[in-house]
Amino acid sequence: MRNQKFIFRKFIEIFTIFFIILTVLFFLFRLAPGDPVSKMVDPTLTPEDTQHMIEQLGLDKPAHIQYFIYVKNFFSGNLGRSFHYGEPVSTIIMDKLPCTVLLFTTSTLLAAFAGVFLGKIAAWSKGSGLDNFLSISALVCHTLFIPWFALLLLWILAYKVGWFPLGGIISPELWIDDASVFMKAIDVVHHMLLPLATLFFIHLGSYLLLMRSSMLSVLREDYIITARAKGLSEKVIRNKHAAKNAALPVITSVGLSLAFSINGGALTEQIFTWPGIGRELIFAVSNNDYPLAQACFLLIAAVVLIANLVVDLLYAYLDPRIRY
Amino acid sequence: MTILSVENLSIGYNTKKGLLTAVNNISFSLEHGRSLGFVGESGCGKTTIGMALMGLLPENAAILSGKIHFSGEDLSRFTEKQWRNIRGKEIAMIFQAAMNALNPVFRVGEQIAEAITTHNPDLSTDKVNDRLKTLFNMVEIPESRMSDFPHEYSGGMKQRAIIAMALACSPKLVVADEPTTALDVIVQDQILKEIKKIQKAMNMSLIFISHDIAVVAEVCENICVMYAGQIVEMGTKQEVFKSPKHPYTKTLLASYLSLDSDEDIFVPDMMETPDLTGINTGCRFSVNCNCKSKNCSKDAPGWIDLTSTHKAFCCEQGLGRKQS
Amino acid sequence: MRKNHYIMRFQKGWKIFIKNPLGKTGLFILFVFLIMAFASFFVPHIGPMYDPMTGTDPNIKVSTYPSLSHWLGTDNVGRDLFAQLLEGAKVAFIVGLSSAFISIVIGTAIGMISGYAGGIIDILLMRIADIIMVMPSLVILLILASIFGQFNIWIIVFIIAILRWPAVSRIIRSQTLSLKHRPFIEASRVAGASNIRIIFRHIMPNVLPLAFLYMTFRVTSAILVEAALSFLGFGDPSQVSWGMMLQWVWKTGHMFQAPYWLIPPGVCISLLTLAFYMLGRAMDEVLDPRLRKEGQA
């Protein structure tokens, strides 16, 4: 019962924050120099259609009314019309969202698990050759510049040896020929491996280092001595008693480093031409397609907030001391 | 029947200042079903003895010499594997509850059950639960609290839980290290009575470590007074309390009780910290002693038997039996 | 008297810092880059051909491999890559340090005010900090670029600083909270000092070392975001930064043909980030005695 109140509170929180972001964006847009009409409305539309759009978006009304229309539009799913695609923005982003979610969640989960596992080993064998190797590798991975690392991977593994495709999510030939579901799945995975590897290694570094230092401080705690006094084997102490406590800060850090992960995700999508929201945003900005850019941004903001909520809940579930 | 016999045990710590002999050539023995208390100020080595009896000495500590005879084995030569067999099963430790001795992310019942199942892996869940209930009843914690987490327990309850955990496998010997420090006086009293009751009921041998001589006197039949890694006096409770002979014991008691004695009890205004470096055959208290004979630090004083059970590590002048 | 105290603390901290292998390596790498940054001032004097932005070798019309006259080779219009690399070092330092500095100023001020004032101001400020902290800076810069158009380098520096102060303010706030109830603060209050005076004269000197420690992490963050932004093509086109170099090699399609062009800028970004990170970790050890090894005071 206590838990439900906690979850409810959190929901209200993120909803409020999202609303604030929505509002701030509106104000910034109004503040910008230039003609808002040309920003929001496709310049290639006929004058009648243009007028129709202006009315729909409330661009001819005073600011506060425009704001209400803006909010109303947003929550009713009307996000405007993309200049470039000539289609409603909402269809476009709904198309791209699954790709981003797929890449993002897979890489984060893999990196988190690997980071916890390797960090645990590194801490346990502290000072040994293995520990030094893991720590230094993690440090290097942590400080790699994503576009550069991605380009390197592309160059060596895709261009030079041709093991992987140069980008995209599918090989169109395969899909037009209507291959089996299995083959299609393999195709997607094949395309996903390089971007996945990029994101995986970058994040592995920080999770490993964090788990390692967390583990080292947990191993100094008194309850580890108690566990030993009970006659437990070192393996059980490490994996059961120490690791569970040590993993908690790592989970929080997944939430905190979400901002960093999303930046990295957008860059990776761009380089590997992975059709996700990040790439769409960059594309929209380069092409002055403001409705699309705005929608991508708001979607990313929503994803960030929801992801934070999930991490908070997960942490509360795992650490019995946190119950509001 | 002697269950524990320690001969000439010396334990040292490797520190940046050199080798610190925390325990210097001590010998004592414990009969089955009896209780022995170790009293002394912080740093006198009593906790180190406790840890040595469990094989839980930290990495920079080592047994320099001596033997620990327990149930026909010499514990000072034990490998880690051998220790794991007897820790919790034959010898168990009651830690200070003020420490973080219980793992915060596991339920209390679970942790105590773990103590049972580590040494009895084939026990059915029902049997384990029965044993758990028996233990909780023994330490007087309501069964309904079994599935709570440690942070939901009060200080006194935590201490009882730790006692229950130590008793889980009905060990032959229990080492209690400052179990009532940091508890309220009333709770302290309850816990001490609890321990005494359980010890008698289970016919357990008990080693009780504390800096508070009043507490030790309440629980133990025999007492060892320690100073700077050496036992300076040992005897039955009555002997040590009613007729203390070693100058340090007298000082200790003078701080607590008012003795109706016509002896002038010398309580130094400021005690110098003893020098623990190196192995010393002399008396480490001599620097603070009021005794006229100042040779004790080098000339080894010996054990002077006062009665069949009472002896002191001192010189004749120190004991006041001889005029200088 | 206070000055001596600071100098002593600094000397003591320095001894611990310099023993740390991370600190030593970090400092060394940083030093190398500093030299590179300073060298960039002299490069145009060698010849107009070597100007990183405008200089082109009249004999070279395509991207070439490293040679004696061009140590790292040239880009596709004949500009010297090594000169660009040096210029990039200068830009990285300027961007990193100024952005970090502004972050620290804002974060420290807000942290102190929040911690000292408490109550509704504290809650409000920290909520704002929380919201800003979870937002991805690159994404925000992108949408802002979409609304406001191309930015020059100083606007970028400033926006990054605004997005990065929350982390600093949290630390400063906890420190302020622990200082708030110290006797000397009470004494000042009793003596009639105004709150502003207490904050800036008494609390600030005590939290400043901590603020500077966390500056190192802000620097890495700023350099990486600027590089990413430039890489995507939204940076300041009048500045030659490492990110910009990577953009050029990518946009001109040379990324697979010209390793001498692709590799150095990326290595530099990573190394500089690594150096600051090492510096930060070593300083951590100075400030937190628990992390020190045996044998140190």
Q: CA-nearest residue of chain B to C293? A: B16
Q: CA-nearest residue of chain B to C297? A: B16
Rounded mean pLDDT of A55-67?
Answer: 75
Query: Residue C27 pLDDT > 80, yes or no?
Result: yes
Q: What is the pLDDT of residue C218?
A: 83
Of C277, C202, C209, C284, residue with least CA distance to C8 = C209
Q: How far is CA C280 from the centre of its chain?
A: 11
Per-residue confidence band for B207, with pLDDT thresholds at 50, 70 and 90: very high
Taking only Cα atoms into account, the Rg of chain C, rounded to an integer number of angstroms, comes to 23
Q: Outline where DSSP puts E strands in A8-125.
A: none
Query: Residue B209 pLDDT > 90, yes or no?
Result: yes
**Structural tokens at position A308:** 């934070």
CB pairs under 8 A between A and C: 125
CA dist., res. A38 & res. A34, Å (int): 8
Q: Sign of dihedral through CA atoms C232, C237, C239, C244? A: positive
Query: Residue C297 pLDDT > 50, yes or no?
Result: no
Nearest CB to A263 within list C134, C137, C256 = C137
Q: CA-nearest residue of chain C to A202? A: C270
CA dist., res. A299 & res. A305, Å (int): 10
Query: Which chains sit next to C, with 3 or more Cβ pairs under 8 A?
Result: A, B
User: Which CATH homologous superfamily contains domain B2-220?
Assistant: P-loop containing nucleotide triphosphate hydrolases (3.40.50.300)
Query: Residue B206 pLDDT > 90, yes or no?
Result: yes
Domain boundaries, chain B: 2-220, 243-319
Asked if C100 is an interface residue toward chain A (Cβ–Cβ < 8 A), one would say: no
Nearest Cα of chain B lies from the Cα of C4 at a distance, in angstroms, of 30
Question: In chain C, which residues have their Cβ closer than 8 Å to the Cβ of A140?
Answer: 270, 274
Q: What is the pLDDT of residue A90?
A: 82
Rounded mean pLDDT of A164-177?
Answer: 76
Q: What is the pLDDT of residue B201?
A: 87
Which domains are delineated in chain C? Answer: 86-296 (1.10.3720.10)
Query: Residue B323 pLDDT > 60, yes or no?
Result: no
Question: In chain B, which residues have their Cβ closer than 8 Å to the Cβ of A227?
Answer: 103
Nearest Cα of chain A lies from the Cα of C251 at a distance, in angstroms, of 11
What lies within 8 Å, CB to CB, of C252 at 6+ separation is C63, C75, C76
CA dist., res. B289 & res. C127, Å (int): 63
Per-residue confidence band for A250, with pLDDT thresholds at 50, 70 and 90: confident
Q: What is the pLDDT of residue C73?
A: 80
Per-residue confidence band for C296, with pLDDT thresholds at 50, 70 and 90: very low
Per-residue pLDDT tens digits for B77-112: 888 888 998 898 899 999 887 778 898 888 999 999
Of B125, B194, B185, B126, residue with least CA distance to B166 = B194
Phi-psi region at B21: left, alpha or beta (left = phi > 0; alpha = psi -120 to 50) = beta
Question: In chain B, which residues have their Cβ closer than 8 Å to the Cβ of A246?
Answer: none
Residue A27 has a CB neighbour count (10 Å cut-off) of 11
CA dist., res. C82 & res. B153, Å (int): 66
Nearest CB to A293 within list C131, C146, C233 = C146
**Structural tokens at position A53:** 């759009």
Q: Identify the residue with better confidence: C3 or C56.
A: C56
Nearest CB to A229 within list B93, B119, B149 = B93
Contact A228/B89, CB-based, under 8 Å? no
- C291-C295-C296 Cα angle (round to 5): 55
pTM for this prediction = 0.82
Nearest CB to C228 within list A21, A263, A285 = A263
Nearest Cα of chain A lies from the Cα of C270 at a distance, in angstroms, of 5
Question: In chain A, which residues have their Cβ closer than 8 Å to the Cβ of C162?
Answer: none
Asked if C105 is an interface residue toward chain A (Cβ–Cβ < 8 A), one would say: no
Interface mutation vs chain C, best among A136, A156, A263, most C CBs within 10 Å: A263
Asked if C136 is an interface residue toward chain A (Cβ–Cβ < 8 A), one would say: yes
Beta-strand relationship, B73-74 and B61-70:
antiparallel
Query: Residue B293 pLDDT > 50, yes or no?
Result: yes
Query: Which chains sit next to B, with 3 or more Cβ pairs under 8 A?
Result: A, C
Query: Which chains sit next to A, with 3 or more Cβ pairs under 8 A?
Result: B, C
Rounded mean pLDDT of C106-134?
Answer: 88
Quote the longest CA-to-CA distance of chain B.
Answer: 70
Query: Residue B183 pLDDT > 80, yes or no?
Result: yes
ipTM of model: 0.84
Q: What is the pLDDT of residue C220?
A: 86
Beta-strand relationship, B205-210 and B73-74:
unpaired
Rounded mean pLDDT of B174-193?
Answer: 86
Rounded mean pLDDT of B60-68?
Answer: 89
